[in-house]
């Protein structure tokens, strides 16, 4: 009896070892997380990983050392066959619960651990413009006095937000990381979702504009704003406009290399994206450090084209962009060579966007090339006719008109002859008597120039001067060069 009980007890103790759960096949395990995959994806180089582990590697610009020679994360394709096989295996072997996809925050921590264990980790960090945004990396960066990696996004938040609860900060970081990972994803659906979220966040949460405007996010947007998919392109450029509204971001955006693709969109993108592109260039041109660079990169021709044939929205933003860009002499010279003067004068004559176009003409009139082209193009007669009709949409437009005339008055005898023929003195005297204070001041200065005596004036043949082919030829050579 006793031996029977002992034998029975011995059998109970050994029975669990006979029903041990089987180990998953190696191909079901993610090489990065070491866990059973729930959302497997195939990357360009043929390996299969858990999706969020791949996105975390892309986000942190990291390739696991084991795969450093061959891994390629350029595209991500769902491995539906493997996913189905894993689920069937779990059910058949009672491996429950069925694994769920790893969240992006956990994936980031796993990849960061791999990066720290990698012998090439310091090199990878220093050679990349990307930085992590988890709290662990903040602590690590602060503790590592030798690190030259840019501080993570968390440290670039305005100081006034430091009182936010840790859960709010964590949620914001996780949300930002998720957006960035999707921006870098090869799947169009992920990109569409990410740029739509980015556009909404940068429109509604003003404080997000600064901490989101990082080199890595701008790098991702640089590729997406020329996307062949309408929703991706439109929302990418719209998000860029929102980011550019912060003064602290304007120079960073231009230096990120995003202006050339932005110009491509203005030239031939989707209509709504073209509107946003014109607005982005206008916003970026507000910073003095950007004006020359934007002109050098080739923004002037497409802006002129948009002014001529774009939608109302793109025309207005293009005009304002051209005004701010023309504050720089190099851009004024380019605009003259592009034949913009005649375009502007025609718009003034037609009464279309007179106020904004007049701003640009006022800038052009301050340069030698601009004055010469405007005098040869009939600007004096055009502006005086406008002044005589007194049909201005605002008092500021009248002031701009007189300002442009004053700039032209620095053209010496050529201006005096044209102004005299057009009856300028009578109009200017009237303006000096009845106009606003600013208009009176400008009219007075122009009259002083006109009444100024030159030594050679006594022998000037005005009619011959006005019709002189030689003078016109010399002006042309001055502006456009000889030959």
Residue whose token pair is 């090489």: 31
Q: Write out the E strands in 100-249.
A: none
Q: State residue 11's pLDDT score.
A: 46
Do residues 202 and 209 make contact, with C-beta atoms less than 8 angstroms apart? yes
Q: Are 132 and 60 in contact (CB under 8 A)?
A: yes
Specify the CATH number for the domain of residue 446.
1.25.10.10
Question: Which candidate, 305, 323, 320, places its Cα nearest to that of 360?
Answer: 323
- The residue whose two tokens read 């968390």 is 154
Q: For residues 381 and 419, state if they share a domain.
A: yes
Instruction: Give the N- to C-terminal CA distance of the chain in Å, as an integer.
Output: 122
**Is 161 inside a domain boundary?**
no
Q: CA–CA separation, 187 vs 191, rounded Å?
A: 6
In a domain, 86, yes or no: yes
Specify whether 316 is located in the same domain as 335. no
Q: Which residues of the chain have pLDDT under 50?
A: 1-2, 5, 8, 10-18, 68, 120-170, 455-458, 470-472, 474-476, 478-480, 482-483
356 shares its domain with 270 = no
CA 218 remoteness from chain centre? 7
Q: What is the CATH number of the domain that holds 89?
A: 3.30.40.10
pLDDT score at 156: 30
| Burial class for 174, CB neighbours closer than 10 Å (0-12, 13-18, 19+) | middle
Query: 275 and 413: one domain?
Result: no
Q: Do 53 and 200 have their domain in common?
A: no
pLDDT for residue 328: 93
Q: How far is CA 104 from CA 13, 110, 221, in A?
A: 42, 10, 21
Residues 406 and 317 in one domain: no
In a domain, 157, yes or no: no
Bridge-based pairing of strands 76-78 and 40-43 is antiparallel
Domain span including residue 98: 22-121
d(CA 245, CA 247): 6
**Could you give the strand order of the β-sheet that contains 48-50, starting from the edge strand earlier in sequence?**
48-50, 40-43, 76-78
Angle formed at CA 326 by CA 322 and CA 331, multiple of 5 degrees = 105
User: In terms of domains, do 414 and 427 share one?
Assistant: yes
CB-based contact 450:416 (threshold 8 Å): yes
Last residue of a domain, one of 325, 358, 384: 325
Say what the pLDDT of residue 250 is.
Answer: 94
Residue 133 falls within a domain, yes or no? Answer: no
**Cβ-proximal residues to 102 (8 Å cutoff; 6+ apart), any chain:** 33, 35, 38, 50, 52, 53, 110
Q: Measured in whole angstroms, how far is the alpha carbon of residue 414 from the centre of its chain?
A: 44
- Count of C-beta atoms within a 10 Å radius of residue 386: 21
| Residues 336/377, Cβ–Cβ less than 8 Å | no
Of 277, 302, 325, which marks where a domain is finished?
A: 325
Residue 261 lies in a domain: yes
Please report how many Cα atoms fall inside a 13 Å half-sphere around the Cα of residue 301, on the Cβ side.
10
Say whether both 308 and 174 belong to one domain.
Answer: yes
Domain-ending residue, one of 325, 347, 376: 325
My answer on whether 231 and 353 are in the same domain is no
Q: How many Cβ atoms are within 10 Å of 153's Cβ, its own excluded?
A: 23
User: H or E segment at 465?
Assistant: helix 462-466
User: 330 and 451 share a domain?
Assistant: yes
Are 74 and 204 in the same domain?
no
Other beta carbons less than 10 A from residue 212's beta carbon: 23
Q: State residue 467 phi and psi, 5-degree precision.
A: -105, 10
User: Does residue 128 lie within any of the structural domains?
Assistant: no
Q: Which of 49, 55, 52 is nearest to 32 (CA)?
A: 49
Q: For position 334, what pLDDT does the model report? A: 95
Long-range contacts of 424-430 (CB under 8 A, 24+ apart): 424/380, 424/384, 424/450, 425/450, 427/384, 427/387, 427/388
Q: Model confidence over 333-355: pLDDT tens digits? A: 999 999 999 999 999 888 888 88
User: For position 126, what pLDDT does the model report?
Assistant: 27
- Is 193 inside a domain boundary? yes
Evaluate whether residue 240 is within a structural domain: yes
Task: Answer yes or no: do 319 and 362 share one domain.
Answer: no
pLDDT value at position 12? 46
Q: What is the pLDDT of residue 153?
A: 30
Q: What is the pTM of this model?
A: 0.62
Residue with tokens 């004055």: 371
pLDDT at position 47 is 85
| 97 prior amide bond cis, ω within 30 | yes
Number of domains in the chain: 3
CA distance 17 to 22: 11
């Amino acid at each position: 009896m006793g031996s029977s009980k002992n034998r029975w007890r011995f059998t109970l103790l050994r029975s669990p070892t006979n029903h041990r759960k089987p180990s998953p096949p190696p191909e079901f395990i993610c090489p990065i997380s070491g866990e059973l995959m729930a959302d497997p994806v195939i990357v360009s180089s043929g390996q299969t990983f858990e999706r969020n582990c791949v996105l975390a590697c892309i986000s942190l610009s990291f390739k696991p050392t084991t795969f450093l020679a061959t891994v390629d994360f350029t595209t991500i394709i769902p491995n539906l066959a493997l996913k189905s096989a894993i689920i069937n295996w779990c059910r058949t072997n009672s491996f429950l619960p069925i694994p769920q996809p790893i969240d992006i925050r956990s994936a980031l921590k796993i990849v960061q651990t791999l990066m720290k264990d990698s012998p090439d980790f310091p090199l990878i960090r220093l050679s990349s413009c990307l930085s992590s945004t988890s709290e662990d990396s903040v602590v690590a960066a602060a503790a590592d006095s030798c690190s030259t990696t840019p501080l993570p996004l968390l440290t670039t938040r305005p100081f006034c937000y430091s009182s936010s609860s840790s859960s709010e900060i964590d949620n914001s970081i996780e949300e930002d990381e998720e957006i960035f990972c999707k921006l870098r994803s090869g799947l169009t659906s992920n990109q569409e979702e990410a740029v739509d979220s980015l556009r909404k966040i940068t429109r509604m949460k003003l404080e997000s504009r600064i901490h989101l405007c990082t080199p890595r996010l701008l790098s991702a947007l640089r590729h997406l704003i020329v996307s062949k998919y309408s929703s991706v392109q439109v929302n990418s450029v719209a998000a860029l406009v929102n980011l550019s509204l912060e003064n602290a971001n304007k120079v960073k955006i231009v230096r990120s290399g995003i202006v050339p693709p932005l110009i491509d969109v203005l030239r031939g993108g989707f209509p709504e994206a073209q509107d946003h592109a014109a607005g982005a260039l206008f916003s970026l041109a507000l910073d003095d450090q950007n004006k020359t660079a934007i002109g050098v990169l080739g923004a002037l021709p497409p802006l002129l084209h948009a002014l001529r044939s774009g939608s109302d929205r793109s025309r207005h933003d293009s005009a304002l962009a051209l005004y701010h860009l023309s504050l720089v002499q190099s851009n004024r010279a380019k605009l003259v060579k592009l034949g913009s003067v005649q375009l502007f004068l025609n718009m003034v004559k037609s009464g279309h966007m007179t106020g904004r176009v007049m701003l640009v003409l006022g800038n052009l009139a301050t340069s030698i090339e601009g004055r010469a082209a405007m005098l040869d193009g009939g600007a004096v007669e055009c502006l005086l006719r406008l002044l005589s009709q007194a049909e201005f949409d605002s008092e500021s437009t009248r002031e701009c008109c007189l300002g442009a005339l004053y700039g032209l008055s620095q053209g010496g005898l050529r201006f005096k002859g044209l102004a005299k023929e057009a009856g300028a003195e009578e109009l200017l005297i009237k303006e000096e008597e009845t106009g606003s204070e600013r208009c009176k001041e400008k009219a007075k200065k122009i009259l002083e120039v006109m009444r100024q005596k030159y030594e050679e004036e006594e022998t000037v043949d005005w009619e011959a001067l006005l019709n002189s082919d030689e003078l016109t030829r010399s002006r042309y050579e001055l502006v456009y060069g000889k030959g």
